[in-house]
Amino acid sequence: MPRIITVGAAQLGPIARDEGRPAVVARLTRLLEQAAGHGCDLVVFPELALTTFFPRWYMAEQAEVDRFFEREMPGPETRPLFEAARRLGVGFYLGYAELAEEDGRTRRFNTSILVDKQGAIAGKYRKIHLPGHDEHEPWRRFQHLEKRYFETGNLGFPVFRAFGGHIGMAICNDRRWPETYRVMGLQDVEMVLIGYNTPVHNPPAPEHDDLSHFHNQLVMQSGAYQNGTWVVGVAKAGLEEGVEQIGNSIIVAPSGEIVGRCTTLGDELAIARCDLDLGLSYKRSVFNFARHREPDAYRLIVERKGAIPPS
Ligand code: ING
């Protein structure tokens, strides 16, 4: 019996700074209802899907920053989305800014959750690769202060048994690092869900701007193929508070082929039927880790300091 998950990549267009949670949750719910109408089991929303991408601004007052965070999940304003999931029998991945009281202190993470078809949280992930900087850098057209506003994730890259398979999560910049996929690949992940907010322009390296779509696809197609897993990448896209963000949301098969994609820069649903067993063809042959990986040999290479000088 094939294990098929019908996935909806639910791309979002811009979210304005003053767009309230209820209006955003209404947009998310509309996409969830659309997905249910097409028989989706699972919907993937972007990173920080409840607010505008606020790390683009320097804010001196912590109280102003904290307005973009959720103190509880679900809370009064997000509960309607969980209730819709339960009513429709469709699960979802949601990225949001998490403010948690843990270990006797206030902690702030760039977080994603996996919610099952009963509307219950089945897994949580906190972003590990935080790009950008932590002090105001006025030379930039816009800031990227994730290192200021968030702590590095402290949950590792867990893989959850859900939706009849092994589901992992990552967030935005994580998708650019091969370790992200391999750490989950070593846990036999079968589908990696990734939300992102990616400006076209990267101030420290403007020469990459024209390659933003190519790099976006390259990293997710490679991660999928090299670990025999599905990868779903979903954007918050379009001109958001003056910053052009890429769309290019895609659904990638374990072969590395793109089987679904969004083509606009707005709220848009791309759908694909994902057979989780397609990954086996790669995990049992070219990427059979048990037979072909050589972790002991890698350790030798890693311990070597720099290139070997000519003898
Ligand atoms: N955004 C970007 C990302 O990794 C970035 C940061 C943009 C890195 C452009 C490199 C080039 O997609 C987030 N939120 O991580």
Looking at residue 263, its pLDDT comes to 98
Ligand 1 centroid–CA 201 distance in Å is 9
Q: Is the pTM of this model over 0.85?
A: yes
Per annotation, catalytic residue among 40, 70, 98, 172 = 172
Domains along the chain with CATH numbers: 4-303 (3.60.110.10)
DSSP the chain: ---EEEEEEEEB----TT--HHHHHHHHHHHHHHHHHTT-SEEE--TTTTS--GGGS--S-HHHHHTTSBSSSS-TTTHHHHHHHHHHT-EEEEEEEEEEEETTEEEEEEEEEEE-TTS-EEEEEE-----S-SS--TTSSS---HHHH-PPPSS---EEEETTEEEEEEEGGGGG-HHHHHHHHTTT-SEEEEEE--BS--TT-GGGGGGHHHHHHHHHHHHHHHHT-EEEEEEB-EEETTEEE----EEE-TTS-EEEE--SSSSEEEEEEEEGGGGHHHHTTTT-HHHH--HHHHHHHHHS-SPPPP-
Q: Taking the chain (311 residues) in consecutive chunks of 10 residues, what is each chunk's mean pLDDT?
A: 97 98 98 98 99 98 98 98 98 99 97 98 98 98 98 98 98 98 98 99 98 98 99 98 98 99 98 98 98 92 78 87
Which amino acid residue places its CA nearest to atom 9 of ligand 1?
Answer: 202
- 117 classed as catalytic: no
Instruction: For a ligand 1 pocket test, name from 56, 126, 129, 144 the mutation site with the most ligand atoms within 8 angstroms of its C-beta.
Output: 144
